[in-house]
Amino acid sequence: MKNNLMMMSMFLITCSSSFAQKNELKELEKLVKRNNTTETSALLSTVEKMLPQATDDQKAAYYFFRTKNFINLANSGVDFNENRSKAIESINHLIKFENDTKSKKYTTEVTELKNTLLAELVDDAIDTNRNKDYKKSSRLFEQAYNLSNLDTVYLYHAANDAVNAKDYDFAESKFKDLIKLKYDGKSQTYVATSQATGKVESFGFDRKARDLAVKNGSHTQPETIFNKSAKTSIYNNLTHILLNKENYSEAENYALTAYDLDKDNVNNLLNVLFLYYNTNRLDRYEEYAKKGVERFPQNEVLLYNLAVINMKNNQNEQATDYLNKILLLNKNNFDALKALGNLELQKDADITNKINALPNTTTSSKKRNDLMQEKRLVYTTTLDYYKKAQAVNPKDESLNELITQIQDFLKNN
């Protein structure tokens, strides 16, 4: 008899808890509809404590109302980004919960919430990107990806916009995520024009959703955007970030991968050359430099970089050859003209040392005159390059100052 009384007591407690949850869930529904976020938040905290005894349908209801409340809070301007992020987590949690429990009670409603929020996020991200607020747009694209992680293109946009914002740590993490996901980017994106706003809206990779929106009349002018592979861009950007951090050991794999993916992209080659030069592996540098000249014999940027490397190694003859090749392609290349002037001017130091070493005697007079003639010839040749460079860029102050000093010397000697 005592055991029966205990079982009856437990039954009454369980039923009481169940009835309480039903009443509170009904109250939650009313509060959410009235957008009463303060009372909804308080009641959600109370219901959360009862979840261990709740049925799957009751748990789903709690997750649904919690999601709606986060959205209401965000739309009310309360901790906008934080509450929108929480809404995204809650949407994903509810969808997974209903999939796991084979329940579909809120699937339709939460899917509608998800699609609406996703469209808002993508539209905001695109508008923010157009306004060049790249840091904000990168976070919006990240939120869009978190909400719809099958649409990996949003993660790609988040990474690229972070690069534009010079937010390199964030960009690095997103590019690495893309590589782990084996993102290629070669895909089709489905878009259509909203009748309500007149703006082109993306449906990501969901052609059925786009076609349904057009059929229902909410959208018109359906289009398909074909996206090329983004692999090379991902590896190239990640290489740049790591090279700027002087993280050469990690950068090497990404640099070589980018180069192998697209050998016709000169930037991939320049990254490899920069890497090997800065790690003093000149044998590898020369190997790729030769390949580069064969593949890009008329690329001024590559030829100039090769000239600079040779100048740093005091291989002035080879540097001069590269610079002259540039001038054959473009006689008005400012950097090449100025660099040739600099190389010519370097000869002056040796001549000056020889003059200073001569004894102050009558027999040394002829030698001194010959050396002064050499000095004048160096200055005249240098001035010729500098004047041509000045004609291309008259605002280079250091160049203008050198020209003035050389002219003064030639005038007085």
Regions in the chain scoring below 50 on pLDDT: 1-19
Residue 350 token pair: 């040796």
What is d(CA 144, CA 174) in angstroms, rounded to the nearest whole number?
A: 14
Burial 302-339 (b: 16+ CB within 10 A, else e): bbbbbbbbbbeeeebeebbebbebbbeeeeebbbbbbb
Render pLDDT for 294-320 as a digit per residue (tens, 0 to 9).
Answer: 999 999 989 998 898 889 888 999 999
pLDDT at 16: 38
Render pLDDT for 198-257 as a digit per residue (tens, 0 to 9).
Answer: 999 888 777 888 999 999 999 999 999 887 889 999 999 999 999 999 999 999 999 999
pLDDT at 51: 85
pLDDT at 66: 92
Indicate the length of the chain as a whole number.
Answer: 413
What is d(CA 163, CA 6) in angstroms, rounded to the nearest whole number?
A: 66
pLDDT at 206: 79
Q: Are strands 219-227 and 200-202 parallel, antiparallel or unpaired?
A: unpaired
Taking alpha carbons only, the member of 222, 132, 224 closest to residue 187 is: 224
Q: How many helices (H) and strands (E) does the chain have?
A: 18, 3
pLDDT at 143: 95
What is d(CA 49, CA 53) in angstroms, rounded to the nearest whole number?
A: 9
pLDDT at 41: 85
Taking alpha carbons only, the member of 240, 229, 120 closest to residue 178 is: 229
Name the amino acid, one letter, at 179: I
pLDDT at 316: 94
Residue 257 token pair: 């991968």
175 exposed, middle or buried (CB, 10 Å; 0-12, 13-18, 19+)?
A: buried
Angle (CA) 340-342-343 rounded to 5° is: 65
pTM of the model: 0.72
pLDDT at 1: 43
What is d(CA 355, CA 375) in angstroms, rounded to the nearest whole number?
A: 10
pLDDT at 18: 46
pLDDT at 21: 61
